[in-house]
Structure 1
Amino acid sequence: MRADATRTTSKMAMTGGRLRLTLALTSGLAILAGCGSDMDWDLRPSERFSTTEAARNSTAARPTPDPRGVISYPGYQVVVAQPGEQVRDISARLGLAQGALAAHNAIDPAAVMRGGELLVLPSRVDEATSTPGAITATTLSPATSAGPEPVQHEVRRGETAFSIARLYQVTPRSLAEWNGLAGDMGVREGQILVIPVAQQQTAALSAPLSASGLPGTDAGGTSAAITAGTAAGTTAAATLPATTSLPGQGSATPNPPSAAQPLPATTPTPAGQGATAGAPAPEPVADLGAERTQAAQLAMPVEGRIIRAYARGRNDGIGIGAPAGTSIRAAAGGTVAAITQDTDQVPILVIRHADNLLTVYANIDNITVARGDRISRGQSIATVRRGDPSFLHFEVREGFESVDPMPYLQ
């Protein structure tokens, strides 16, 4: 009975802790939009989802590798491991710098690979293979391609194969097949996954070509457009009159200029007039910098490249890449509505602005404001947290509803 009481007390303490955290998150915002919000304060996609839509977006099979296990795309290459191979063995046989392959894929060089497991190469290797010392004839042939280049995704802390599949609207099964994941669908932080390519993309590239290798040609390699043009030209020639006047025939020859009969006086046309006199004056080029300054409702909280775009329901904000320690500025004037933490104890700051607008700043450190503070546009409120990569997660919400921040920032 004492053990049951202990378990009950522990459970109540955990429940109370979650309740206090929930109250801390919502107290500053309850006056704005009431209760029943779906706002995800952990900034993670909800696990309550259906994969039906993703299943409908069927994906193609992974391309077949060359004899070395390499699959080449225009921008990068991957290698398919053989059962029992170590990462350093793969690196050695492909001629890569020692440790480069392991570091690029966040894996131990001594790790033993599963058959079919995928690694992204840190640098390009020669696609041509030949036997040393053998004399081979060089023949010209069309360049081979593994099809459309898949997107690469670097796994971040807290992500799972299922959440990544949902992010890109592919099935977890196809994600596992393309990357050679284990039966438990486990992924590691820093691992690079390739996202399966949709079936319709490969179908478009694999459409049969004509004998000449160009679309819209006949068996002889003649373009249909050229053939049609030739036929049209033949018809036009047939309708010309039998006799054609020579150039200048039938027109009077003008008298040559002389001193006795000078040329008629002409009024010179000022430069910039003449044939273009009736043309409208060109519109002045817009100053995009000034236009953005005047029109943008929100200021960029940090200067940097957008490394993760907004995707409603999957990524409710944007990721702005910036060095750790970069000062984060308030996007607009307002009041600090909440300061809390996600499940990894990473601070989250929420600012309430006019017209029921909220801005959310996450993956931050060194917060310099407190809840209830009045702040101004451009005021420093925190710094970018250290990470790999380091970035600011920035959201805009109308009430509790997430919206794409970019229209507010442009």
Structure 2
Amino acid sequence: MSSRLIPLSIAFGGSIMLSACATQIDSPAPIVFRGSTPDQPAIVAAAPSPVTATAPIQTADSRGVIDRGSYQVIVAGENDSLIAMAARVGVSSSDLANYNGLPVTQTTTAGQELVLPPRADRYAVGSQTTPAGWSPDIAAAAIDRAALPTIETGAIGAAAATQTTTTAPLVHTVAPGETLFSIARLYDVPVTSLADWNSLGADFALNTGQRIEIPFGSVTTTQTSIPTLPQAPVTVVTPDAQAVLPGAAAALTPPPSSAQPLPTDTSLVVETPASPNLGQFRSGSGIFIPPVDGPVLRPYAPNGADRNEGIDFGAAAGAPVHAAADGEVVLVSRSVGDLDTIVMVRHENNLVTVYGRITGVNVARGDSITQGQQLGVVAERSEPSVQFQVRRGMQHTNPAEYL
């Protein structure tokens, strides 16, 4: 090699080293060889570094919506749900779920993006509408349980004050043994609404740990204020000059009757009252009279050791025995017991009287008799008496009820 080529080689090598250094400092770039062979390049040059354009960072609005140009997305927040995200932009939860290939009950994580279905207004703020398939009737019970809304009251006399409050969705985690029916009763919502809201099957099957969304929405609460009642007119009455005021003594006017004493009444005549009818105080009905005038020796006793089917009246032997009432003699016979001769008389109302321990009978069967008529006399005995019986049909009764 000639002495003239040595400096050229050194210079050429230095430029190659400087180029290599420059390449390491900047971003890597491919080496382009232009010549016959790579060992003896004619020209060596570095390609320019690609220029990276910095895109502006897009932020979500208050609803979590981000405009990507040709489409829009909504970003999930903390403890968010697909149903709540759909409600924020006024789109049906089923439309949002179907557009993203997800179930309505899909659990979201913070920062997760869902693509919004295309819409003419591009989800401008204030343009959302009520989601299809939602109604206040479905969510009323769950809203009432979420929180009590603040009531704004108007001025006195106003007709009503109205405020609309929107609550966050309620999420229930299915516990072992719980069913859709028990959850519906717990939150006081229709079981069909709960099933439709969560896109459950016809069998309402649930799994332990499954998260169930309780229907939610906005409710308008109206409270009627009590208007001011009109004041009734007050009538002022002027007191009478003669009226006595409280605490004042009134003059007493003597009554007219006290002016003159009453005259002595000399026309009063004391009349002796008539003798009372003592018969009206009898305990019985009074349709019969006693057969003899005498005391009661043995009363009526239908049962027991002292059984007596009638009343025994004491009387002297030979005393007359009288018929108790009008009737017909049906029997005159001698008894096999201690009644000796007996007389039976039939009366009205299927009543029969029986007279025992008599003698000197002066009536016969078939005779019509009158009350008080003598039937015979009291028979001679150590203790003379007459037994008087009253029967209704063939059943004996208490004679005292008829005397």
Which TM-score applies when normalising by structure 1? 0.30
Greater helix content: 1
TM-score, structure 2 length as denominator?
Answer: 0.31
User: More strand per residue: 1 or 2?
Assistant: 2
Pick 1 or 2: higher relative contact order, CA cutoff 8 A, min separation 6. Answer: 1
